[in-house]
Amino acid sequence: MRTPCITSVICVKKALQAEQFEAMEDEKQLLLKVTEELQNLADASLQNVLWDRGPIYKIPASVTAQNETAYMPQTVSFGPYHHDESHLKPMEEHKQRALTYYLKRAGKPLQAVVQSLNGEIQVLRDSYDMLDGSWKDDKKKFLQLMILDGCFMWEIIRLATIHSSLDGYVANDPVFSSHGRLYVAPYIRRDMLLLENQLPMLVLYKLAALESDGAQGEESVSMLVLKFCYPNKSVSKMDKCLHVLDLYRKSLLQEDPATKMLRLGVSVGLLNDENDIVRSATELNEAGIQFKKARTKSLRDISFRGGVLELPVIVVEDATEATFLNLIAFERLHVDSGKEVTSYVSFMQTLIASERDVALLHSRGIIQNAIGSDTAVCELFNSLPKDMAMEPNSSLEAVQMQVNAYSQKPWNEWRANLIHTYFRNPRANLALIAAFIFFALTCARTVYSIISYYDPMCSGARRPPRPPPRPNFPPN
């Protein structure tokens, strides 16, 4: 018979075992739940759901910290990211007027525009990487934004590229007039090339198609946009683009077939430690490398042959810094874009270390300076991010290797020093020629004197006649 004490101990032991079992069951259920959630996340990742981001990005603060104004619109907002900011509100009334004139010219009711874009509302929303709740939840508000901003952008592009008439706008209109083309359009162009200030190209495609009853295709729209953003650039057929900045980037990289064949024919490889140090333009020039402007303006048209480095012409103006920074940010955030612009800027940064480098490239027609002094251009390139890396195994990396290998050969540097020292000044050329002739004549005279000493016949002097031989008389 068990005592009460033993019974109580057994009960406590069973209770503890029950609690332990219950705790183990809870832990098991928790592990199963966590495992299931992780599996779901893994499946979603395999389906690229986690990486399916829109191409219009919010730039991280770590990127914008050094130069916030370069990523911010100054005149007009496009899209939701900077909508309703106080310094951009004055342009909102002009957007409403643009919608009115677009509808009048197209001969379509507003309902037709709404229906056209409403059918693509989800695609338009998905184009933005980070939409806050007000834009996600309010479909009407988002659609209204796309229509107003799209019509304004389309009207600006049309009036800046088609100079035949003002399409009903009054001559003294502050924006949609000859005055606006000259004084307002450049600032709008600058804001249109900011990554956070983009509209999906689909909006412009839809508006143009609706206005022309389908006669104006996507390619002609892209050509008009490029004519506005890059008026001095001639481009051929463009692939489908995500937004204006993407279109502009592709136009910078477009090359003719002949240049592409030459570029693809260049062998590529990894840089070694010896070739990792890149010299500035003046240092390369002193090492015997000549600079020449390329046949095209494509950023891919960079080559090195026979000691000559060919670079595309670049126009440096007020908006250049902001445009480059936003192109670099797009390549950084958009995985499928490539790194060609980033690589080009990185390469140019190595070439431009001082105003002397800018002056050299300007004298060769490679840099067209529209912002003032050579120092300002140098400061612009030096203000761009320093942590950029060149795209591995690219044709530009191969050019860099060839340039470094050529500049490190002593003979090339000696020859360049000889040319720079003695052949750049006409007076120095004459002095060098005179010195060479004098040296040659001196050598010839010395040789002649030596020969004459050992062989008097060579001197042309006559020998004295030999005395007649003494007669031999017989002995007495």
The model's pLDDT over 142-196, given as tens digits with 9 standing for 90+, comes to 999 999 999 999 999 998 887 656 677 888 999 999 899 999 999 999 999 999 9
Q: How confident is the model at residue 475 (pLDDT cuts 50, 70, 90)?
A: low
Query: Residue 297: phi, psi to the nearest 5?
Result: -95, 5
Q: How confident is the model at residue 442 (pLDDT cuts 50, 70, 90)?
A: confident
Report the percentage of the chain scoring pLDDT > 70.
73
pLDDT of 470 above 60: yes
Q: Which tens digit of pLDDT belongs to each residue from 390-402?
A: 888 888 999 999 9
Q: Which amino acid is located at 315 in the chain?
A: V
pTM: 0.78
- Residue with token string 């002094």: 373
Q: Which of 106, 46, 73, 103 is nearest to 190 (CA)?
A: 73
More confident residue, 50 or 332: 332
Q: For all residues of the chain together, what is the average pLDDT?
A: 83
- Coil, helix or strand at residue 2: coil
Please, which residues bridge with residue 305 across strands?
A: 308
- Residue with token string 């003046």: 282
Element (H, E) at 303: strand 303-305
Q: Which amino acid is located at 310 in the chain?
A: E
More confident residue, 87 or 456: 87
In order, the DSSP letters of 318-354 are TTHHHHHHHHHHHHHH-GGG-SHHHHHHHHHHHH-SS
Which pLDDT score, from 0 to 100, does residue 169 have? 86
Distance CA 191, CA 200 (A): 15
More confident residue, 258 or 120: 120
Average pLDDT over residues 246-250: 95
Which pLDDT score, from 0 to 100, does residue 450 have? 79
Q: Which of 166, 156, 170 is nearest to 207 (CA)?
A: 156
42 burial type by CB count under 10 A (0-12 exposed, 13-18 middle, 19+ buried): exposed
Q: What tokens were used for 63? A: 């990127």
Which pLDDT score, from 0 to 100, does residue 239 have? 74
First to last CA, the chain: 184
Which pLDDT score, from 0 to 100, does residue 284 have? 94
pLDDT of 122 above 70: yes
- Coil, helix or strand at residue 309: strand
Which pLDDT score, from 0 to 100, does residue 261 have? 52
Average pLDDT over residues 350-366: 96
Task: Of 6-10, 212-216, 371-375, give the lowest mean pLDDT range.
Answer: 6-10
CB neighbour list of residue 274: distance below 8 Å, 6 or more residues apart: 404, 408
pLDDT of 455 above 70: no
Q: What tokens were used for 319? A: 């908006």
Q: How confident is the model at residue 7 (pLDDT cuts 50, 70, 90)?
A: low
**Are the C-beta atoms of residues 293 and 312 closer than 8 Å to each other?**
yes
Which pLDDT score, from 0 to 100, does residue 50 have? 42
pLDDT of 109 above 60: yes
